[in-house]
């Protein structure tokens, strides 16, 4: 979803997963890196590395999935996608983002990036005239 809807700044997106073989295979890692995504994995025997992902899954299950009766796979994808884009990323406040939504946080980051962009540091040239004495 992130690749289809947002521009990824190389190194600005981290994909964190557990140590499952599907996430460690070369093809998967190569696909992440081809899109400028930094792979990240939990350390063996350290469940706290994955705490943020586990917290997200708990939120998704509690606020969207539990109690929902999806008609089929397409309905589940559409409704979960809507929850993620509209509620989780657009409205829900996140303590890790100083109680702002991800959309607010990303807008702030874009503004900061625009202010500190190298384009702004290009020296401005001014027209000068040279006086010649005869």
**Residue 113 is assigned to a structural domain of this protein:** yes
pTM given for the model: 0.57
84 plus 53 within the same structural domain: yes
CB 63 within 8 A of CB 87: yes
Would you give the distance in Å from CA 131 to the centre of its chain?
56
Looking at the structure, tell me whether residues 24 and 55 fall in a common domain. Answer: no
pLDDT in tens, 23-44: 778 888 898 888 888 888 777 7
The radius of gyration computed from the CA coordinates of the chain, to the nearest angstrom, equals 22
Q: Residue 18 has which token pair?
A: 């557990």
Which domain, by its residues, includes 52?
A: 47-118
Q: Is the domain of 36 the same as that of 55?
A: no
Same domain, 4 and 26: yes
Question: Total domain count for the chain?
Answer: 2
pLDDT tens digits for range 76-106: 999 999 999 899 888 999 888 899 988 899 8
β-strands 37-41, 13-17 pairing: parallel
Residue 92 is inside which H or E element, if any?
none
């Amino acid at each position: 979803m992130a690749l289809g809807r947002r521009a990824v700044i190389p190194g600005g997106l981290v994909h964190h997963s557990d140590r499952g073989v599907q996430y460690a295979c070369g093809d998967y890692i190569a696909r992440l890196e081809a899109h400028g995504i930094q792979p990240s994995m939990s350390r063996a025997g350290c469940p706290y590395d994955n705490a943020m992902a586990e917290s997200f899954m708990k939120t998704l299950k509690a606020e969207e999935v539990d109690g929902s009766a999806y008609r089929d796979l397409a309905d589940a994808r559409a409704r979960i996608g809507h929850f993620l884009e509209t509620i989780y990323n657009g409205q829900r406040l996140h303590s890790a983002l100083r109680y702002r939504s991800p959309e607010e946080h990303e807008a702030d980051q874009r503004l900061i990036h625009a202010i500190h962009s190298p384009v702004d540091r290009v020296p401005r040239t001014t027209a000068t005239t040279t006086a010649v004495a005869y």
